[in-house]
């Protein structure tokens, strides 16, 4: 399987490196890490293994990658408008598009931009930080859960799942991509948001404050309500489980905090704005999410 990785931040580098290490034909669209990766390859430090891959097929121009069987989309949602031009040269009949992006709106955007192609959501329940150019740390092994609206594409789902499993990435298949995205929001909304808004703090500090734990729970309860407003059901027990799992992650900096600290736009709309709007359109008020969204909008200077 010829695989193209579009978006070589922590997520793209990590999954791409694992796929390549398992012998698959991976091609990375690179930007800021290009020279470091072409020189020294990609290094991954994970709980189960640490490894380095060399001979990386890295490109600065997506056109040079050419057609692939699978496009993994791992750019931030704030760069979505660049995707139609970037992906077009990589597509051929039957190419699968897999978005590993956070939040709501990316899946719909890709389906609308590429109506002739099968688009999958891959929800990555994982902790990753890109700690230096070409170097990714994985603190929580997690899994990727796949889902797509289109039915009867079992073969294609199987082929992605097989590629991931070959790379020893735990993979599950879900029927409903929207369910997956809301389940991922359950973590991202409180932890990515409060990590910024409470003064650039890591997850362990969030969980050392009663106020912030209360807000984490309150926001999670609102995401459960938001999901319900979309006809989805999230098990309320998930809240306790996620908080417990987050304690085990130690001093983790969520991706939005990393973006914020680098003065880059974070995913304000896809993680906080879009779920709020969808719930409101369904007549459901989520005042804690609304307040956090307002606060993050004030803080996100480069988001404008």
Q: Which residue numbers are catalytic?
A: 184
Residue 82: count of CB within 10 angstroms of its CB = 13
Tokens of 77: 């949602």
* 158-177: burial string, b at 16+ Cβ within 10 Å, e else: ebbbebbeebebebeebeeb
Q: Sign of the C-alpha dihedral, residues 289, 256, 254, 175?
A: positive
Q: Does 197 bind a second copy (CB under 8 A)?
A: yes
**177-197 and 106-113 helices cross at what angle (nearest 10)?**
130
Q: Does 209 bind a second copy (CB under 8 A)?
A: yes
> CB of 215 within 8 A of CB of 201?
no
Q: Does 206 bind a second copy (CB under 8 A)?
A: yes
Nearest distance from C-beta of residue 182 to a second copy, angstroms: 22
Out of 176, 249, 290, 303, the only residue in the binding site for a second copy (CB under 8 A) is 290
Nearest distance from C-beta of residue 10 to a second copy, angstroms: 22
- Compute CA distances 58 → 63, 74, 226, whole Å: 12, 15, 40
Nearest distance from C-beta of residue 244 to a second copy, angstroms: 19
Of 168 and 297, the one with the shorter C-beta distance to a second copy is: 297
> CB of 246 within 8 A of CB of 203?
yes
Nearest distance from C-beta of residue 295 to a second copy, angstroms: 5
Which range, of 12-20, 39-47, 77-85, 202-210, touches a second copy by CB under 8 A?
202-210
Out of 64, 241, 291, 302, the only residue in the binding site for a second copy (CB under 8 A) is 291
| Residue 142, helix vs strand vs coil | strand
Of 142 and 218, the one with the shorter C-beta distance to a second copy is: 218
Of 115 and 199, the one with the shorter C-beta distance to a second copy is: 199
Q: Does 214 bind a second copy (CB under 8 A)?
A: yes
Distance CA 148, CA 118 (A): 8
Out of 198, 249, 284, 303, the only residue in the binding site for a second copy (CB under 8 A) is 198
Out of 70, 119, 128, 215, the only residue in the binding site for a second copy (CB under 8 A) is 215
Q: Does 302 bind a second copy (CB under 8 A)?
A: no
Nearest distance from C-beta of residue 11 to a second copy, angstroms: 24
> CB of 223 within 8 A of CB of 182?
yes
Tokens of 87: 């992906």
Residues in contact with a second copy, total (CB under 8 A)? Answer: 26
Please name the residue that has the structure tokens 């992605």. Answer: 160
Instruction: Kindly list the residues in this chain that would bind a second copy in the complex (CB under 8 A).
Output: 196-201, 205-206, 208-212, 214-215, 218, 260, 287-288, 290-292, 294-295, 298-299
């Amino acid at each position: 399987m010829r695989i193209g990785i579009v978006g070589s931040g922590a997520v793209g580098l990590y999954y791409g490196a694992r796929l390549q290490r398992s012998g698959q034909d991976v091609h990375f669209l690179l930007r800021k890490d290009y020279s470091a990766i072409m020189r020294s390859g990609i290094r991954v430090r994970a709980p189960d293994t640490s490894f380095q891959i060399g001979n990386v097929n890295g490109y600065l121009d997506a056109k040079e990658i050419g057609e692939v069987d699978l496009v993994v989309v791992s750019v931030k949602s704030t760069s979505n408008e660049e995707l139609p031009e970037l992906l077009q040269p990589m597509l051929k009949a039957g190419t699968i598009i897999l978005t590993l992006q956070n939040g709501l709106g990316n899946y719909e955007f890709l389906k609308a931009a590429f109506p002739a192609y099968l688009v999958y959501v891959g929800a990555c329940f994982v902790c990753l930080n890109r700690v230096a150019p070409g170097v990714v740390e994985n603190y929580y092994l997690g899994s990727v859960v796949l889902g797509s609206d289109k039915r009867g594409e079992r073969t294609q789902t199987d082929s992605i799942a097989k590629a991931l499993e070959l790379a020893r990435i735990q993979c599950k298949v879900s029927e409903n991509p929207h369910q997956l995205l809301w389940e991922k929001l359950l973590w991202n909304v409180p932890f990515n948001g409060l990590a910024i808004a409470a003064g650039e703090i890591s997850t362990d500090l969030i969980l050392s404050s009663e106020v912030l734990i209360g807000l984490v729970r309150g926001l999670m309860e609102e995401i459960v309500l938001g999901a319900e407003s979309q006809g989805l059901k999230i098990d309320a027990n998930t809240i306790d489980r996620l908080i417990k799992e987050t304690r085990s992650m130690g001093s983790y900096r969520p991706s939005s905090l990393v973006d914020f600290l680098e003065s880059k736009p974070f995913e304000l709309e896809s993680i906080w704005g879009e779920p709020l709007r969808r719930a409101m359109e369904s007549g459901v008020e989520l005042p804690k999410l609304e307040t956090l969204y307002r606060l993050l909008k004030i803080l996100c200077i480069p988001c404008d």
